[in-house]
A and B are shown apart, each in its own frame.
Chain A
Amino acid sequence: MWRDAALVAGRDLRVELRSRVTTNQVAPFSVLVLILFAFALDPDRQLLERLASGLYWTAVLFAALLAISRSAAIDETDGVRDALRLSGIDPAGVFVGKAAAVAVVLLGLEVLLGIGVVVLYGVDLAGAGLVVLAALAATVAVAATGTLYGALVSGLRVRETLLPLLLLPVLAPVLIGATRAFEAALAGVPADGWAWCGLLAGLAVLYAVAGALAYGTLLEGS
């Protein structure tokens, strides 16, 4: 399974690297979201700094929707889905590989957005350990959930509009957990944040297992 996962992840990342959609479109879009938040909230540095965690994760979720939609689109064209089924690759491996590729893309976007938040909103970084671990757990949770729901809508004409409707309510707990963990870390009281980090890790494991189990059914049934 892990070998299959590495193959699929490598393919998705190569496609992403060569098409340059993430670097040329998704990344600029996510920075634009940060700038729009500043317009909406008036560039009051104190307000922006106080809300930075929530705005950051909202921007990450918006960018994630695009990344997940891209990842689902890769399998739609040229009969890739049928080829995957015929290739004998373990469906769980396909799921893990696709989720891993999405996670790598998301981590890149998160670093970029992190720099954006520090520069644009004047956030002072603190509690690095908690920030990194919470971000990792949240990324895995978003990537696993997104890959599963991406498969649910892949191939449909209404994919772009249906995906946010299905995915965002499910990701609400991730948004809550990641925001609280970041707030605790930035406020210098990481002790409050570790519980949220635990929630994120739990969600990541849960959705990864659910996705690995369900992916075969979804691949077959469409």
Chain B
Amino acid sequence: MTAPASTSPTGAPDGDGGASAAPAGRTTLGHTGSPASRVLGALALGSVALLVMYGLVWSPPDAEMADSVRLMYIHVPAASFLYTGCFITTVASAMWLRRRTPGWDALAGASAEIALLFAAITLGTGSLWGRPTWGTYWTWDARLTSTALLTALLVGYLALRRLDVDPTARSTRAAVLGLLLVPNVIIVNRSVEWWRSLHQRSTLVKLDPTIEGQMLVALMVGFLAVGLVFTWLLVHRFRVAWLEYQSERLDLDLALAERRAEAGHPREAVEAARSSDRRHHGVADTRRPGGTPA
């Protein structure tokens, strides 16, 4: 059994496989950055700069909403990627339940964390926009209410993940919870929508102007920038989670070996544990090429 060359145990869809290509020290497990993710980061930064220019300078103010329309160039993409994040979490949870490989668990957790960040951005920009437009920070509109509940679902999911219990048990529970995330989001969304529409016919002015020209371009740039930032964050959060997993396993095995070594053959036992750990848990061999093979 040989160790895979990549730190992605599942060939997870994080864009590039050669995660820890950079040479590292003996005890280093790997990096969260790679040439590909650096290019991605640069692209994300560039597109954010472009969004700043388009959103704040080049696009005209709206006829009705004036300058507050500029918040929409972040708000709408952030909301879309919030749902994307939830979707990835559910798919990754389902894959974990099928395959039981730690990468899918890491991906589910990483994606949920970033989805929560985007939920906060969505709610924050939405309230700021609502104040001048509707005259209030919050209203019991269907979308607002279901987004708030979705945020609560994500907070609960992450609270369960953060518990300090046996990793496998935690992964199983998190996966079942993650699997229920998107169905719950849909149920909550539909029922809240239904509740508001039956109870109180649209309290809000229907704001659905046809977007065109520079404003449409600005929104598209917003989708691009937010999408790149989302992907970049996801790649890095996934790698951090993966390294955490590796270090947990490695630390435990090393500690075991050291305790055993106290009884007998010190160096060999620790070395054996290191190498067997690499073979069993698929840690990428990050030693310099030319170092002795494990």
Contact = CB atoms under 8 A, between A and B. Distances in A.
A210 B180 CA distance: 9
B173 A218 contact: yes
B284 interface: no
A187 B192 CA distance: 21
Nearest to B171: A221
Nearest to B195: A176
Interface in A70-89: none
Interface string A99-136: 00000000000000000000000000000000000000
B48 interface: no
A89 to B, nearest CB: 19
B97 A176 contact: no
A165 B155 contact: yes
B11 interface: no
Contacts, number: 74
Give the interface SS of chain A, mostly helix, strand, loop or mixed.
helix
A210 B184 CA distance: 11
A173 to B, nearest CB: 4
A205 interface: no
A176 B196 CA distance: 10
A138 to B, nearest CB: 13
A40 interface: no
B172 A176 contact: no
Q: Which one of B153, B157, B180, B183 has the greatest number of beta carbons of chain A within 10 Å? A: B180
A172 interface: yes
A6 interface: no
Interface stretch (B70-78, B159-167, B222-230): B159-167
Interface of A: 152-153, 156, 158, 162, 165-166, 168-170, 172-173, 176-177, 180, 192, 199, 203, 206, 210, 214, 217-218, 220-222
